Structure 1
Amino acid sequence: MAVITKFVVVREGEEKMTFTTKKEADAYDKMLDISDNLIPFIEKADIGLQEVDCEKLAFYLAQNKDELANLLKGVIKGTTASAPKKKKVKQD
């Protein structure tokens, strides 16, 4: 008989996801916390999103928080937007 340890993320009495490591479960739980915190922020924008769309957007932003953080800092695909590449000029 095998013993399997599972880590289950539960929100409001509902199982959201099951993981094999505590680290993965904690990361997912933190992502859900971020998503929950983003919902009121997005709703304040008053851009006419339905509640379900607002929740989807918050979840997407939370899932991609690292990329979003870089974009907010001005970092685009490994380069900074504020420091454009210098063009080399051929001198004669």
Structure 2
Amino acid sequence: MAVITKFVVVREGVEKMTFTSKKEADAYDKMLDIADNLVPFITSAELEIDENSVEKLAFYLASNKDELANLLKGVVKPKPVANKAATKKTNKKAPTE
């Protein structure tokens, strides 16, 4: 018989997610805290966004907090360079008889 330790993130009596490591569970719980704090911030913008969309936006911003922080600091992620081999045109001549 195997023993499995699970870490469950619970919000307002509702199980949100189950993890196998405490570190992952704590990170997810922190992300949910950030999302909860973003909801009133977004709502205060008076953009006429419905509550469900505000929650989705807050969750998205919280789950991408590192990238958002870099954008707010003015750090721009370099755009990926297209594969030259894929974009290079080949000029093959038809075989002559």
Q: Same fold (TM over 0.5)?
A: yes
> What does 1:1-92 align with in structure 2 at a 5 Å threshold?
1-77=1-77
Task: Choose 1 or 2 for highest CA Rg.
Answer: 2
Write the distance in 2 (CA, Å) between the matches of 1:36 and 1:75. Answer: 26
The AA in structure 2 aligned to 1:64 is N
Q: How many residues align?
A: 78
Structure 1: gaps (5+ residues) = 79-92
- Runs of 4+ deviating beyond 6 Å: none
| TM-score normalised to structure 2 length | 0.79
**Counterpart of 2:24 in 1: which secondary structure?**
helix
Write the distance in 2 (CA, Å) between the matches of 1:39 and 1:26. Answer: 20
**Shift in Å at residue 70 of structure 1?**
0.1
Q: Residue by residue, what CA displacement relative to the aligned partner does 1:11-33 show, whole Å, maximum 9, x if unpaired?
A: 00000000000000000000000
Structure 2: gaps (5+ residues) = 79-97
**Whose strand proportion is higher, 1 or 2?**
1
The AA in structure 2 aligned to 1:58 is A
| TM-score normalised to structure 1 length | 0.84
What's the % identity of the aligned pairs? 78
Write the distance in 2 (CA, Å) between the matches of 1:51 and 1:3. Answer: 41
Question: RMSD of aligned C-alpha atoms?
Answer: 0.6
